[in-house]
Each structure stands twice: as C-alpha cells, then as structure tokens.
Amino acid sequence: MVQLLDGKAMALQIKDEIANEVRNLTAQGHRAPHLAAVIVGEDGASKTYVANKEKASHEVGFTSSVYRMPESTTEEQLLETIAFLNNDPDIDGFIVQLPLPKHINEQNIINAISPDKDVDGFTPINIGRMVLGEECFVPATPMGICTLLKRYNIETAGKHCVVLGRSNIVGTPAANLLSRKGFDCTVTMCHSKTKNLKELCLQADILVVAIGKAEFVTADMVKDGAVLVDVGIHRVEDATKKNGYRVIGDVKHSEVDAKCSWVTPVPGGVGPLTIVSLLENTLKAYKRR
C-alpha cells in the first residue's frame, strides 16, 4: 500500500514550530526575522510563488517585504536593489525570484547576493560550502526533499537514489545532499544526455524527479516498492477549477503511485516544504546575526 509523503501536513507542523520560536523571541523583546523577496516582471507563476512566500512569512510571525520591479528593469538597477538589501540591517535574508527577464544575466545577479543573506542558497559560496559539508544555506527545494525523507524516517543508507535532472537549484544539490554522510545514498544523476534512462530509473530505490516535463515518468520506469519524490510543478488548463487550472507533476501519478511504497503528491508534496525550508533558512540567518 502506497503511503503519502505529506508535505502539506509536514509544512504546517514545521511552521508551527517556527512560529513558536518567533513568539518566544519577540516576547523577549527581540524583533521578528525579516525575509524580503524581489520579483522582476509579470510572470504569473512567479507572482504566485512570491505571494505564497509572503503569506507563509506572515503565518510564522516574520516581517516580510516584496520589491516589485517592472519587466524593463535593467541588470544595473537590479544590482542596485541587491546592494541595498545586502546592506539593510533590518533584513535578515532575501530571495530574487527566478526566472528573471531574458535581458538580465541570472548568474551575475546571484553572485551579487551576500552569502550571509542568501536564504535560497544559490550563491557560489553557499553551494561550495554545501559540497564541502560545511555550515551553509542549503537550496530550499532539495532541503525540503531531505526534510521529508528524514522526518518520515525513510531508510536511505546504502539505497540507490536516482535523481532525474541536474539543475543548479534542484537536481545537482539534491544529488549532493543525498550522497552525503547522514543520508548515505548511492546516487545516480541523470540528464537529457543520459542514454539508458528507463533502465536506471528501474534500479532506483528512491527516485527523485526534477525534470520539468509534465507526467514524464510512467509506471514502466518505476520499480515496485520505490520511494518516489516528484518535484515537478506544471499548470494545466482545467475548466472545472475555480482558477482555471490544476497542478500536475513530472510523474504520471495515476499509474505510478500504486507501485510505490511512498510518494509525494502534487500538489502538496515538495512544494510546501520548499517554502518552509526558506523560512528555516531565514530564521537561521536571523540567529546568526
């Protein structure tokens, strides 16, 4: 019988823990942690993500601010905003919502973020520290995946974990973290040039899918009893829904779930844990200061 890695319920529990801690801090006369977000342009999904992060910040008692900049913002203007946020003593951590408009070089922007306020864990310094196993801010989505596996006591040591995708924000850090001491998985990381993808997936005790292709993983690619983590988020039109769309993942859950021992639903799996991990990183940044 498949069991759910219920990210929604776990996120509520962790938010409760954070809110308690913030209440204790403010009761002692300390200010609340402050998370800021920068959003450039009008991308609908990005707006939703930022709104969700703002809502979650308020739920746990953080101060939150959002810097909304027009699509026409130049790289220089965005760098100025980042310099301001780096130096603002009231802000503990901030994120720049990706993707950015095409005329802005994302890596230049990420490189400009102070590693001490980089609660998304995207700067080279934090990535480097993560790879070395040093204290750092871990990127929120892979951190969320690790939290789910850990809190559900999923056995990982010596398991073959296959990660589909090698992006800097999901696949690569997830593969790194799961191969480290503590998780001790044997990790295979796959990408678009991987030749025997189906055979590799079929060997996975733990399959982490972050490929960005709707319902790509089908039942014939998954071993019986596998633990399945679906990172994918895709909006598809659905006239029966109030907002006109529903969210699906990178896995065809209708046929795959029955084969698994544990599975993350979409929505309500990795997504809520991503936001919570950002809150955890912000609390950490606050405490460090």
> In angstroms, how far is CA 37 from the centroid of its own chain?
15
> CB 4: neighbour CB atoms within 10 A?
15
Q: Which is nearer to ligand NAP, 49 or 286 (CB)?
A: 49
Least distance (Å) between residue 49 CB and ligand NAP: 8
Smallest separation (angstroms) from ligand NAP to the CB of 51: 14
Work out how close the CB of 83 gets to ligand NAP at its nearest, in angstroms, rounded to a whole number: 26
User: What one-letter code names the amino acid at 214?
Assistant: A
What's the chain's Rg over C-alpha atoms? 19
Q: Report, in Å, the least distance between residue 154 CB and ligand NAP.
A: 18
Judged by CB under 6 A, the stretch of 31-39, 80-88, 105-113, 206-214 that binds ligand NAP is: 206-214
Which of 53, 256, 271, 283 contacts ligand NAP by CB under 6 A? 271
Q: How far apart are CA 124 and CA 50, in angstroms?
A: 23
Decide if residue 213 touches ligand NAP (CB under 6 A): yes
Using the rule CB under 6 A, give the single segment among 63-71, 175-183, 227-235, 240-248 that binds ligand NAP.
227-235
Q: Any contact of residue 203 with ligand NAP (CB under 6 A)?
A: no
Binding mask 232-251 vs ligand NAP (x if CB under 6 A, - otherwise)?
Answer: xxx---------------x-
Q: Which of 8, 191, 246, 259 binds ligand NAP (CB under 6 A)?
A: 191
Number of residues near ligand NAP (by CB under 6 A): 26
Token pair in block for residue 32: 């609340």
For 134-200, give the secondary structure using H, E and C.
CCCCCCHHHHHHHHHHHHCCCCCCCCEEEEECCCCCCHHHHHHHHHCCCCCCEEEEECCCCCCHHHH
Site string for ligand NAP, 149-188 (x = CB under 6 A): ---------------xxxx-xxx-----------------
| Distance in angstroms (rounded) separating the CA atoms of residues 256 and 268 | 17
**Is 138 among the residues that bind ligand NAP (CB under 6 A)?**
no
Can residue 96 be called a binding residue for ligand NAP (CB under 6 A)?
no
Q: Are residues 271 and 286 in contact, defined by beta-carbon separation less than 8 angstroms? A: no
- H/E stretch holding 30 reads none
> Nearest to residue 275, comparing CAs of 75, 54, 29, 70?
54
Sign of CA dihedral 13, 280, 170, 148: negative
Residues in contact with ligand NAP by CB under 6 A are 141, 164-167, 169-171, 190-194, 197, 210-213, 231-234, 250, 270-271, 274
